[in-house]
């Protein structure tokens, strides 16, 4: 009888080992990867409820993915490419994102700042993100027609050229399908209303989705 009773005793250490391994595995499970959004008022839910903004909607979508992702919205109304460039290193050190979304340049354009400076600032941010191990999504913007074709074409060329050069994903125009529909724009003609945010997210998702796989 003793010979048979000893088998459970021999099995207990192995079973406990499996339990402990499971506990250790759970304790050391990798945290959800993060999407860091560095943008301006177009990403900061300007003049609409935060929960209506496209970044918040993105967070809802990411939370349902397997494995789950999180979103960190570091967007500030009025942000320029230079101020974003200056803030990015600390954000990368804190968040360690798997994906970096750069949605900047609208305020540079609206102020008529030199496109060469915009190019240099965006390039520096892309380089910093890629060096930190993040995949980068560059998000372009269009300006009103009164800025003239030369400046508007040059702005488009900055985003397209950097995307090719740095091998980033690209959304050519954040407000595609929105900007020319008055009912989807606020009175200032620059910012989308809450009802337009799902369309803005769809524009982003076409390029962002593949980066999460």
Residue 195 belongs to domain with CATH number? 3.40.50.1110
- Of 25-39, 71-85, 175-189, give the lowest mean pLDDT range: 25-39
**pLDDT the model gives residue 107:** 98
Q: How many domains does the chain have?
A: 1
Please give the model's pTM, rounded to 2 decimal places: 0.86
Mean pLDDT score, 138-148: 95
**pLDDT the model gives residue 91:** 98
46 is catalytic: no
Q: Could you give the CA distance from residue 27 to residue 24 in angstroms, rounded to a whole number?
A: 5
Q: CB atoms < 10 A from the CB of 126, how many?
A: 21
Tell me which of 158 and 14 has the higher pLDDT.
158
Percentage of the chain beyond pLDDT 90 is 83
Residues 152-201: tens digit of each pLDDT: 999 999 999 999 999 999 999 999 999 999 999 999 999 999 999 999 99
> Are residues 40 and 77 in contact, defined by beta-carbon separation less than 8 angstroms?
yes
Taking the chain, what is the end-to-end CA distance rounded to the nearest angstrom? 57
Residue 20 forms part of a structural domain = no
> Quick check: 130 pLDDT over 70?
yes
Mean pLDDT score, 127-152: 96
Which of 28, 93, 153, 188 is the catalytic position?
188
**pLDDT the model gives residue 32:** 74
Residue 189 forms part of a structural domain = yes
Q: How far is CA 8 from the centre of its chain?
A: 53
**pLDDT the model gives residue 30:** 53
Q: Could you give the CA distance from residue 100 to residue 208 in angstroms, rounded to a whole number?
A: 10
Residue 16 forms part of a structural domain = no
Which of 34, 40, 41, 108 is the catalytic position?
41
Helix (H, G, I), strand (E, B) or coil at 184: helix
**Which phi and psi angles does 69 have, rounded to 5°?**
-120, 160
Residue 150 forms part of a structural domain = yes
Residue 21 forms part of a structural domain = no
List, in order, residues 6 or more apart from 174 with CB less than 8 Å away: 42, 103, 139, 140, 141, 200, 203, 204
Residue 88 forms part of a structural domain = yes
Residue 4 forms part of a structural domain = no
75 is catalytic: no
163 is catalytic: no
Beta bridge partners of 71: 35
Segments forming the whole domain that contains residue 122: 30-212
**pLDDT the model gives residue 213:** 86
Residue 123 forms part of a structural domain = yes
Mean pLDDT score, 73-94: 98
């Amino acid at each position: 009888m003793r010979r048979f009773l000893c088998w459970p005793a021999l099995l207990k250490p192995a079973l406990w080992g499996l339990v402990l391994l499971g506990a250790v595995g759970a304790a050391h499970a990798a945290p959800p990867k993060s999407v860091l959004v560095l943008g301006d008022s177009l990403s900061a839910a300007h003049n609409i409820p935060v929960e209506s903004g496209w970044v918040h909607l993105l967070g809802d979508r990411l939370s349902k993915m397997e494995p789950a992702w999180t979103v960190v919205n570091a967007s500030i109304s009025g942000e320029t490419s230079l101020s974003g460039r200056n803030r990015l290193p600390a954000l990368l050190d804190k968040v360690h994102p798997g994906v970096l979304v750069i949605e900047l340049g609208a305020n540079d354009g609206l102020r008529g700042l030199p496109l060469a400076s915009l190019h240099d600032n965006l390039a520096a941010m892309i380089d910093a993100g890629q060096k930190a191990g993040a995949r980068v999504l560059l998000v372009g913007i269009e300006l009103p027609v009164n800025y003239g074709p030369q400046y508007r074409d040059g702005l488009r060329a900055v985003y397209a050229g950097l995307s090719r050069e740095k091998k980033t994903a690209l959304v050519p125009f954040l407000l595609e399908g929105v900007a020319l529909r008055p009912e989807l724009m606020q009175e200032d003609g620059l910012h989308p209303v809450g009802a337009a945010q799902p369309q803005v997210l769809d524009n982003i998702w076409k390029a962002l989705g593949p980066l999460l796989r």
